Each structure stands twice: as C-alpha cells, then as structure tokens.
Amino acid sequence: MKDAYLQRFLRYVAIDTQSNENSETVPSTATQLNLARLLRDELTDMGLANVKCDDNGYVSAVLPANVDYPVPAIGFIAHMDTAPDASGANVKPQVIDNYDGEAIVLNAELGIHLSPVEFPKLKSYLGKTLITTDGTTLLGADNKAGIAAIMTAVSHLQENPAIPHGDICIGFTPDEEIGRGADHFDVPAFGAQWAYTVDGGEEGELECESFNAANATITFHGRNVHPGTAKGLMINASHIARHFANELPASEVPEKTEGHEGFFHLHHMSGDETTAALQYLIRDHDRARFEQRKELVLSIGRSLNEQLGEERVVVEIKDCYANMYDEIVKVPHVMDIARQALHNCQVTPIEKPIRGGTDGARLSFMGLPTPNIFTGGHNFHGIYEYLVVESAIKSAEVIAEIARLTAEHESR
C-alpha cells in the first residue's frame, strides 16, 4: 500500500492547482481541471461506476457495493486546490526516509530548514518517512494527501473483495481553500447518506466541530489634501482604519487563541489617505459569541462614523459557513463508526474542534452530514508543510475500515 500511495501522492502534487479568491470563474483557476481530468481517468481505469468530471471541475464516482443486502451509501471527499498563501507551482517534494530527529535542510541555498526546535511535533516521527517541500513552495498535502488516501483505499477494497462494503461515493472538489468547494456540489446526485472529508492533519484527528465563520470588509473613505496645508482639512482614511483595528481585542487573534476560542483575524489591509480597507476573518465555535463578534465589528463602525460626524466607515459582513456540529450531532452513528474504525486500525482518536472549516462544514447543512478525518499532514499552507507517510497510510486504512464497519453494522 505504501508504494502505491507514494506514487499517487507524488503524481498529484506535481500538478499546480492553486485556487484564486479574486477569480470569478469556476473553478477559480483552469489548472485545477488538469488534476480533475487526471483523477477522472484514473477512476475510469480502476473500473468505478458513474465516473464524472463536470465543467466546474467536480469529480465523482462510485465503487459499487459487493454485498447482497442493503447498506447505506457513504462518501469520501477531498479537495483538489491548494491554498493561495504560497505557490503550488513546480513543487519539488523531498522524501526523507528513516527521519533522524534533526533539522531537515529544505533549501541549502536559501538557508531554509525544517527544525524540531521550531516545530516540536517532528520529534514524534523518529524513524518515519517524511515528505517535505524544497523551501520554495507549499507541498500540497492539503489536500492531495486526502485524495491519495481515498484512491489508495478504493484500490485496496477492489483488491480485497472479501472486505464487505456498500456503495462508496467518491467526490473531489475545486476551490475549497477559498470557501467555494461546496458551491456547486450536487448532494442528491452524489448519492451518499453521509460522508467524511479526508482533510485533517496529524494521525488520529477526527472532527465534527467547525467554526461559525464570516468575512468582514471595512472600507474607510477619507479626504486628502496636501499635508503642508492639511490642518483641519485632511481626513486620513488610513488613520481611521488604524483606529478601527485598535478597537478590537488584541488578545483575540489566531496567534493567541486555541481550542474553542474564537478570533478576529486581520488578513489583508490596504490604503492611503483617500481610501483604506481592512479584511477580517471572524470565527467562533459558539453561535452566540459569533453573533456578538459580528455586532462588535458593526458597532465600532457606527461609533467611528458618529465621531466623524458623517458616514466614512462602511462595514460589510458575509457569513461563510456554520458549525457543522449542529447537524452531525443528529446522526451520532456517523462519528461512532469512525471512532471504531480508528480503534480497529490502532489509531488513537484526537477529537477536537477544527480551527477552520472544510467542505463538510457546508455540506452538513446541505443534507450530507460530513465530519473530517486525518491525512497525516502538518504545517499546511506554507513552505514548512510536511507529510508523515505512515500516518497517510493509516488514513487509507481507516477509510477502508469505515466502509467495512458500515456494511457490518447493517448485516446485524
């Protein structure tokens, strides 16, 4: 299984699939279609049924049931795009066999190292096989490790027909990293009663909670005149933006929060004296606190406008997704089966809230309960990303075991 997994993963990360939040096309980048078509062809060659790749880049297929009694169809989903945060072009993965616990040279010329001093989790993987970047791009384990795990698990089930399973629905989506992965996902056509995204991190992660999420854009309109004669006349939009940012709690930011703690994340800023803009991610697991966060942003805007005596601060807030726990809690067997699968594969479950979102966060509210399971990846979205191959193989084993347990449960 390891060799097959490695071949798949290395093949997938060689394809640039970075999404673009400023694009209005679907998918947001045409390069994602290159991977979509490759996966379509691979699924066809594997003999799966109902293999499709639509114009929007959504790939789907079904591994038909091999039992003669009714079993719920279940799904496994991963996304094809990589994050805009770092380049996904010309990825040059480095395979580190039998990791020795020391700093890994990612790029000697640039002096870039993956060090256990900065990333202590590395010490947990002595003797394991790691795949790293070359220090100039991200790796793409988020989420091509998930794609490879699903494909490897499907192949394993085909090669071992004695393992019982119902219909296994496969879905690969574009544009998840920019929050659009579920936009054109056809839940009824997919055909599953529930699903799992394979989009988590370290081995054992099993997640049914996500943030409630909104994006806020605050635009500031100033009045610019020559600074030499500006007294009493200039209204500096950038200064208003600075005042706005200072009104938000300094301790409630990603770098100072964890677990169920929410945050305001300033992820983009621009401007001059005439016009400035701040873009925030607003996140909280608790719905009431989430609404309070949005109201705080709105109230700061109102307060500044009152101080200025005119409408110079415009606040726009858009909800993105809700905490999927509210839907998954209605179908407890979905998590119970996953927990048992991890146990059977000798994997210790790590159940914790996702400090982000997955396609499943939206799909769960579209009628497809979809918790999330691990891939074995770490440090997503940047040049220090790496994958633990042994954990990735465990991910594939868990997928196959979930399929078996679902069929076993229905046979009783």
Cα 166 to chain center, whole Å? 27
Evaluate whether 143 touches 375 at the Cβ level (below 8 Å).
yes
Q: Residues 16, 142, 167, 176: which is the catalytic one?
A: 176
Give start and end residues of each alpha helix (H) in 235-369: 237-247, 287-308, 325-328, 332-344, 359-363
Supply 207's token pair.
């997640």
**Exposure string for 209-243, b = 16+ CB within 10 A, e = fewer:** bbbbbbbbebbbbbeeeeeeeeeeebbbbbebbee
Catalytic annotation on 295? no
Contact predicate 49/61, CB 8 Å: yes
81 is an active site residue = yes
Instruction: Give 103's DSSP letter.
Output: P
Residues with Cβ within 8 Å of residue 253, at least 6 apart in sequence: 263, 264, 265, 266
Which residue type sits at 96?
A: I
Residue from 323, 10, 275 nearest 144 by CA:
10
Q: Point out the catalytic residue in the list 81, 167, 175, 327.
A: 81
Quickly count: other Cβ atoms within 10 Å of residue 361's Cβ: 29
Active site residues: 81, 176
